[in-house]
Structure 1
Amino acid sequence: MDFELPEEYQAFRDMVRRWVDNEAPKDWARSLEMDEHNYPFALWDKFAETGFHGVGISEDYEGQGGDVVMQMLLARELARTLGGLAWIWGITSFAGSKSIGLYGSPEQKAKFLPEIANGRLKAAIAFTEPAGGTDLLGAMATTAEKVDGGWVLNGEKIWSSSAHVADYLLVIARSDKTAEKKHHGLTLFWVPTSTEGVKITPLAKLGMRSMGSCSIHFDNAFVADDAVLGEPDKAWHILLPTLNNERIMVGAFCLGVIDGVLEDALDYMQQRKAFGGVIGRFQSLQHYVADIATMQKTTELMLHYCADKQSRGEQVGVEANMLKLIASENANKAADLGIQILGGMGYSAETDMQRYWRDSRLWRIGPITNEMVRNGIAESLGLPRSF
């Protein structure tokens, strides 16, 4: 196995790193994140101007091209300074370009992919049910009833990030109430947020503040037949490859957070003085940064293994879950150690450690809890299903 990135990927990574340092530095990201009531349109527009929304979209649809490895390199570099704000790019990449690119019709691809690639369309994911959380299938109460010319949606979704500024929602709903199995009878919809009967309400939360998360109510919301993505009643089967991609993307974002934490911790330890010298000479703090660096490398190796495997079309479900597990726990632990290293300044809103901690804390819960990830890994090893 070759652990070195090809020159093309290295050049792309280095370009993004320079762009991030110049256009999205940490102090600017910190100011954006503190204003939880205003979506950072300026950040979205910068991504559009640079072409980042087109990464992973074919040049046939005005995109930049690139495979999952290139997407993960972009995600990592963005999260180094932006933390959870990197989801500004990631949500539409998953909900829009990845989903439509994989199972959209030719007409849907031609209509929507160029809009996404050029930053003219924002999307949000509307999967989670208020009563279900990780139990998406068992708690699916949002329904889609077939009528002449389309479907009528009723129900509620929650924790839909950026839905309040999105143009479209990627919605999963139960379209066949008689299906024998929970993962059968589900349909995927591409719903305009302007649809009558769709009500979006922002929610307050701990981290990723200015990006916004929302509850969504569907009250007899009619969508036309051309809003269906893929085959009706078969949504879960077609979604699985993109769910793996989402877990790999989370791993990349977490790795970027670890990069930012280590960068800030080393800088502080080499400047801050106490007890007659810089605090970088203290053995306990050296152990902390050694642990963070080790988390960084193990997460990096797992990320590249999963991204490379998926880019070659191989099954990566179990490994993607493992990556999501270790990456989210490593990132949150690294940020916690970073706060400890900085002491009171780590707790201060004037530095980024607290932001990294708050943002990475979510990834231990979503898009699937780490407890459920562990259940799935154990089941893949032949143990009985525990839920």
Structure 2
Amino acid sequence: MDFALTPEQEAFRKSVRAWVEKECPKDVALELEKQEFQYPHELYRKMADAGFHGIAIDEEYGGSGGGELDQVILIRELARSLGGQAWIWGINAFAGAKSVGYYGTEEQKRRFLPDIASGDKKFAIAVTEPGGGTDLLGAMRTTATRSEGGWVINGQKIWSTQAHVADYLLLLARSDKNVSKKTQGTTLFLVPRESAGVECRQIPKLGMKNVGSCEVFLNDVFVPDDLVLGEPGQAWYMLLKTLNNERIVMSALALGILDGVIEEAMRYLGEREVFGKPLGQVQILQHYIADMLIAQKSSELLIYEAAWRQSEGLDCGMHANMAKIVASEGAVTAADRGIQMFGGMGYALETQMQRYWRDARLYRIGPIANEMARNSIAEMAGLPRSF
């Protein structure tokens, strides 16, 4: 078995790291993050100019090719410096590029993918309901009603990242209430964000302050038939592929944060002295570093396998959930211990550790709570459903 990146993948990784060090090193990322509610449009444009939005989009649609593992390599390197701000690439990658690529008609692919690859169109996912959280289907109140030439959508979504600046919302709605299972009767739509009846409101939050997360209100929003993605009524079965890709990409982002935490911790342990000896000589702190490195390698192996399985068309649901749990919990624990290593300065907003912690903490909650991910893993292993 070969766990190494190919020479091409390693060259790509190095090129991304060089770009990050030039365009968005950690000190720049720290300053950007302080700009609450100010979306980093310039950074997004720089990513587009570097060709990043074309990763994992076929060349015939204006992309640069590659697959799920290339997504992982890219966002890991971005997040090492940017932390959660790397999600401005990630959300477009799975909500736009992968979703249209997975389910879109040929006409839809030619219509949307070139603009996604060039960075000229932004996408957001609008799936979660205010009263539901992970219970997407049980809490589904957003409805889509048949109308002449399309559908009329009413309802509300929450935690829709970058919805306020998106051109399109990848939106899930119940289009048929007369079904025997709640997994039936839902439809995916590409809703133009500037449609009449769409309103977005940003939510103040702990981390990722300039990557807006929004409530979305939909009041008699008309969506034409050519903006239905995939087969009406069958959205849930399709959407699982998108949600798995989201978990894989998010896991790689958490791993990138873990990379950054380890770098900062090692640097500090090498510079600081206590009681006449290097801080890095303190045994408990050496144990903390060892645990971080174990989490780093464990996350890497799980993420790479999940990405590889999805690229091969194999079932990857359990693997994506495992990767998500290990990477998110590893990143949060590492950042928290990093703050402890730094002492009082770890609590200061001028240091990177607190930013990493605030960003990573989200990923134990979303896009699926780790507790629910564990339930899903147990069920896939053959245990009775617990929810």
Q: Does the CA-based 8 Å contact 2:157-2:215 persist in structure 1?
A: yes
Counterpart Cα distance in 2 of 1:148 and 1:272? 69
Matched residue, 1:163: 163
Matched residue, 2:244: 244
Matched residue, 2:222: 222
Answer yes or no: is 1:5 the counterpart of 2:15: no
Cα deviation digits, residues 340-361 of structure 1 (max 9, x gap): 1111111111111111111111
Q: Does the CA-based 8 Å contact 2:325-2:364 persist in structure 1?
A: yes
Counterpart Cα distance in 2 of 1:115 and 1:10? 27
Deviates more, 1:301-310 or 1:142-151: 301-310
Cα deviation digits, residues 173-213 of structure 1 (max 9, x gap): 00001111111000000000110000111110111110111
Q: Quick one: which amino acid aligns to residue 163 of structure 1?
A: A
Matched residue, 2:125: 125
Counterpart Cα distance in 1 of 2:5 and 2:369? 31
Q: Over the residues paired in the alignment, what is the CA RMSD in angstroms?
A: 0.8
**Aligned to 2:178, what secondary structure does the other structure show?**
coil
Cα deviation digits, residues 215-254 of structure 1 (max 9, x gap): 0000011111111000100101111112111111111011
Q: Quick one: which amino acid aligns to residue 128 of structure 2?
A: T
Cα deviation digits, residues 297-340 of structure 1 (max 9, x gap): 11111111111222222111111111111111111111111111
Q: 5+ residue gaps in structure 1?
A: none
Matched residue, 2:149: 149
Matched residue, 1:348: 348
Q: Does the CA-based 8 Å contact 2:90-2:250 persist in structure 1?
A: no
Q: Quick one: which amino acid aligns to residue 226 of structure 2?
A: D
Matched residue, 1:15: 15
Matched residue, 1:100: 100
Counterpart Cα distance in 2 of 1:216 and 1:138? 19
Q: Does the CA-based 8 Å contact 2:76-2:252 persist in structure 1?
A: yes
Q: Percent identity?
A: 58
TM-score relative to the length of structure 1: 0.99
Counterpart Cα distance in 2 of 1:62 and 1:288? 45
Shift in Å at residue 273 of structure 1? 2.0
**Aligned to 2:214, what secondary structure does the other structure show?**
strand
Cα deviation digits, residues 278-304 of structure 1 (max 9, x gap): 211111111111111111111111111
TM-score relative to the length of structure 2: 0.99
**Aligned to 1:363, what secondary structure does the other structure show?**
helix
Shift in Å at residue 107 of structure 1? 1.1
Q: Does the CA-based 8 Å contact 2:37-2:202 persist in structure 1?
A: no
Q: Quick one: which amino acid aligns to residue 334 of structure 2?
A: A
Shift in Å at residue 68 of structure 1? 0.6
Counterpart Cα distance in 1 of 2:350 and 2:41? 22
Q: Quick one: which amino acid aligns to residue 237 of structure 1?
A: Y
Aligned residues: 387
Cα deviation digits, residues 67-92 of structure 1 (max 9, x gap): 11111100110110001000000001
1:176-195 alignment runs, 5 A limit: 176-195=176-195
1:321-360 alignment runs, 5 A limit: 321-360=321-360
State the 4+ residue runs in structure 1 displaced beyond 2 angstroms. none
**Aligned to 2:164, what secondary structure does the other structure show?**
helix
1:1-387 alignment runs, 5 A limit: 1-387=1-387
Q: Quick one: which amino acid aligns to residue 120 of structure 1?
A: D
Counterpart Cα distance in 1 of 2:296 and 2:282? 21
Counterpart Cα distance in 2 of 1:175 and 1:313? 28
Q: Does the CA-based 8 Å contact 2:128-2:159 persist in structure 1?
A: yes
Counterpart Cα distance in 2 of 1:208 and 1:180? 40
Shift in Å at residue 105 of structure 1? 1.0
Shift in Å at residue 12 of structure 1? 0.5
Cα deviation digits, residues 249-273 of structure 1 (max 9, x gap): 1110111011000000000111122
Shift in Å at residue 37 of structure 1? 2.1
Q: 5+ residue gaps in structure 2?
A: none
